[in-house]
Amino acid sequence: MDKKGLAVITGADGGMGSEITRAVAQAGYPIVMACRDMEKAENVRQQIIAETGNTWIECLHLDLASLDIVAGVADFLLRRAEPIALLMNNAGTMETARRTTADGLERTVSVNYVGPYLLTRKLLPLMSSGSRIVNMVSCTYAIGKLEFPDFFTMGRKGGFWRIPIYSNTKLALTLFSLKLAEICRTSGIMVNAADPGIVSTDIITMHQWFDPLTDIFFRPFIRTPRQGADTAIRLLLDAAWAATTGCLFASGHPKTLSPHYLHHPQSDELWERTEQIVARWLMKTE
């Protein structure tokens, strides 16, 4: 089997992440599993190697709440200079309380948006025509709001409320996907966003007294991690979508976005503010 370009998958040890990693491994790609919990990642790696026979799988420590660590992972891959065929920004969080990172960012914002933004921007030199970037978003982007500068430091204006903050980060990641697709259009790098739907993973646990009731009455009716991962897997691997870029996909189909998102009034400001935040880490790349 000929060795293909590298696939980098964040949160590759999670529910959907492990399903995406398994599918990409079966397709014969060498894989970097970029994960925060290295012990868990190694267990998943060994399972996938045993199931697929693909031994070109390694684990790298990635904590998206630290931009130094994000840049370090990207710089390590840049030094190796292996061409990247696939980048799957899958990792995400829904924090239960407001926490500020060492970089001064609200933690949900760093993990779900700024960290993936920085990783993607730094790895672009390793990508070329035919490379695919897929960002895992959420249907909650539709209720997201970007209030600057509070978005970066607090997630939202006012008190902490986890669902709106999560939604705000997914709106930001969606707008990043659309703008990056335009920037990369002439290079042949495909950039798309995948909405997995409501998926039965640990991220939806509310850490409240009603969680056991949620598990009994709610989880049986939502998607399994494999079902949730399906759209992202197809965006990464299907030949039919090899030339598709600048789209949001849900349930295996492109979703028609209103002009409000295609030409969002805050898209340029979001890009410029994010560029200012990550500038010192990008300087080493560019």
Domain ranges of the chain: 6-282
pLDDT of the residue at 226: 78
Which residues does the annotation mark as catalytic?
A: 166
pLDDT at 215 over 90: no
Asked if the model's pLDDT at residue 207 lies above 90, the reply is no
Mean pLDDT of the chain, nearest integer: 91
Residues 6+ apart with CB under 8 A from 107: 65, 93, 95, 98, 99, 100, 101
Nearest 5°: phi and psi at 10?
A: -90, 150
What DSSP character marks residue 100? B
Q: pLDDT tens digits, residue range 121-162?
A: 999 999 999 999 999 999 899 999 999 999 999 999 999 999
pLDDT at res. 59: 98
pLDDT of residue 31: 98
Write down the architecture of domain 6-282 according to CATH: 3-Layer(aba) Sandwich (3.40)
Tens digit of pLDDT for each residue in 52-88? 999 999 999 999 999 999 999 999 999 999 999 999 9
258 DSSP 8-state letter: P
**Whole-angstrom distance, CA of residue 98 vs CA of residue 76:** 31
